[in-house]
């Protein structure tokens, strides 16, 4: 039988010390960890809070992602793609449905499109000459409007493997914006050629 929130908390606290701190995760001992285990401490585990706080945009009328449905780099009738600025890795893109959906209520037709579109985006990000992998993340705890992250792992940086990548991204200095913009434009050009869609009006190239 599944543990209730209070039972889950009590179960976890049984493995913690007197301050409620769990042991360091095995991940901190991986050779790709950005932290040395010596001196690290786990934050005390806080008790559950119910009901949970509402995510941003639970009500579509208050959803900033719905208001931004025509903003970004690329869009078609149902999807839009934006670049996240100020990151440490070469490129971070975000894919959204233009209408208000979360993963669990995505209609089957859109879900099928999402799979194909995700594959095209991964293919085009990994085609950039200085990128080895495109990591894809869906979390959904902060915002109710579905959003998928695409992180480009720089070639040769094996320490940025796997699940520590978003933490490394937050630690690294900001990647040159002009290079990221050029890479994003290359991905958009390839996506239009392979999948369709078009640049958003503000991203249309200026013709001399």
Supply the pTM of this predicted model. Answer: 0.91
Whole-number average pLDDT of the chain: 93
Query: Residue 201 pLDDT more than 90?
Result: no
What is the average pLDDT across 188-201? 94
User: All domains of the chain, ordered by start, with CATH?
Assistant: 1-52 (no CATH), 60-203 (3.30.428.10)
pLDDT of 195 above 90: yes
Closest alpha carbon to 123 in 133, 113, 114 = 133
pLDDT, one tens digit per residue, over 9-53 is 999 999 999 998 999 988 999 999 999 999 999 999 999 999 999
Q: Please tell me the predicted confidence (pLDDT) of residue 208.
A: 34
Q: Are 125 and 131 in contact (CB under 8 A)?
A: yes
Nearest-angstrom CA–CA distance, 23 and 21? 7
Instruction: Judge whether 8 and 40 are in contact, CB under 8 Å.
Output: no
- Give the pLDDT confidence score for residue 200 in this predicted structure: 82
Give the pLDDT confidence score for residue 1 in this predicted structure: 86
């Amino acid at each position: 039988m599944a543990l209730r929130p209070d039972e889950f908390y009590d179960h976890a606290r049984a493995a913690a010390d007197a301050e409620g701190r769990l042991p360091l995760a095995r991940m901190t001992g991986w050779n790709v960890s950005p932290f040395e285990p010596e001196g690290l401490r786990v934050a005390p585990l806080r008790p559950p809070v119910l009901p949970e706080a509402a995510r941003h945009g639970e009500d579509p009328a208050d959803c900033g992602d719905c208001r931004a449905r025509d903003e970004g780099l690329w869009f078609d009738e149902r999807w839009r793609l934006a670049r996240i600025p100020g990151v440490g890795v070469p490129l971070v893109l975000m894919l959204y449905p233009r209408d208000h959906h979360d993963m669990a209520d995505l209609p089957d037709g859109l879900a099928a499109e999402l799979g194909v579109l995700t594959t095209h985006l991964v293919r085009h990000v990994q085609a950039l000459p200085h990128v080895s992998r495109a990591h894809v993340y869906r979390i959904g705890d902060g915002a109710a409007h579905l959003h998928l992250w695409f992180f480009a792992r720089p070639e040769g940086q094996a320490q940025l493997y796997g699940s520590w990548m978003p933490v490394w991204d937050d630690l690294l200095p900001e990647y040159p914006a002009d290079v990221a913009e050029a890479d994003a434009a290359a991905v958009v050009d390839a996506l239009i050629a392979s999948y369709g869609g078009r640049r958003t009006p503000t991203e249309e190239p200026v013709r001399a």
